């Protein structure tokens, strides 16, 4: 079987992939993640997942490359990682009482043949109506500055939600494992 490479240095994606108990390498893709004009969140997530896999395939010519990217959308606007407390406070205040969609694009690419398969997972997060005090308390405790949407659902961020609609809870963290297992099986890479 070919070796796997996760086209990401994200500790969150790496931790998720470890759940499958399979050996893999990680490699940063270092691509431009800017959206194109009028590109939807779904289109951007898939395009970036493919681009990440293709960039890493050049360094690993006989591997299965896993590319993944997530795009959060609130009121037709793409959300970025906040980077600091002020931006996180603004994002969470705007999201309070609303639904946010998280589109996670996935690509598995055989670097020897160039063949790739893709999948898309869309998860909808419904935020509680939150007070400024609740938002500030959350931000100060978890400091989610490197997470799109300004929360970590795998941690205290779960307390911000009324509900989550998803086919795969792992997708919200950044790697839809159910869809990944299905794609790997199509490349004759059995996980079980």
* Residue 189 DSSP SS3: coil
* Residue 187 DSSP SS3: coil
- Give 164's contacts (C-beta < 8 A, 6+ positions apart): 123, 124, 125, 126, 153, 172
What is the C-alpha to C-alpha distance for residues 7 and 66, in angstroms, rounded to an integer?
6
Known catalytic residue: 69? yes
* Residue 5 DSSP SS3: strand
Active-site residue, from 30, 32, 69, 188: 69
What is the C-alpha to C-alpha distance for residues 147 and 72, in angstroms, rounded to an integer?
10
3 contacts 61 by C-beta, under 8 angstroms: no
Residues annotated catalytic, as ranges: 69
């Amino acid at each position: 079987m070919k070796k796997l490479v996760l086209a990401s240095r994200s500790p969150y994606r790496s931790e998720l992939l470890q759940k499958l108990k399979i050996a893999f390498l990680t490699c940063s893709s270092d691509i431009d993640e800017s959206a194109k004009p009028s590109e939807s969140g779904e289109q951007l997530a898939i395009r970036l997942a493919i681009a990440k896999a293709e960039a890493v395939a050049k360094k690993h010519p006989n591997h299965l490359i896993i590319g993944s990217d997530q795009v959060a959308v609130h009121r037709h606007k793409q959300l970025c990682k906040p980077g600091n407390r002020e931006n996180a406070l603004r994002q969470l205040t705007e999201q309070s009482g609303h639904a946010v969609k998280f589109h996670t694009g996935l690509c598995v690419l055989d670097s020897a043949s160039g063949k790739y398969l893709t999948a898309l997972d869309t998860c909808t997060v419904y935020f509680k109506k939150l007070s400024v005090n609740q938002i500030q308390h959350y931000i100060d405790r978890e400091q989610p500055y490197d997470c799109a949407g300004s929360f970590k659902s795998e941690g205290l961020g779960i307390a911000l939600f009324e509900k989550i609609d998803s086919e795969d809870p792992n997708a919200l963290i950044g790697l839809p494992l159910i869809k990944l297992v299905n794609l790997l099986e199509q490349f004759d890479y059995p996980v079980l």
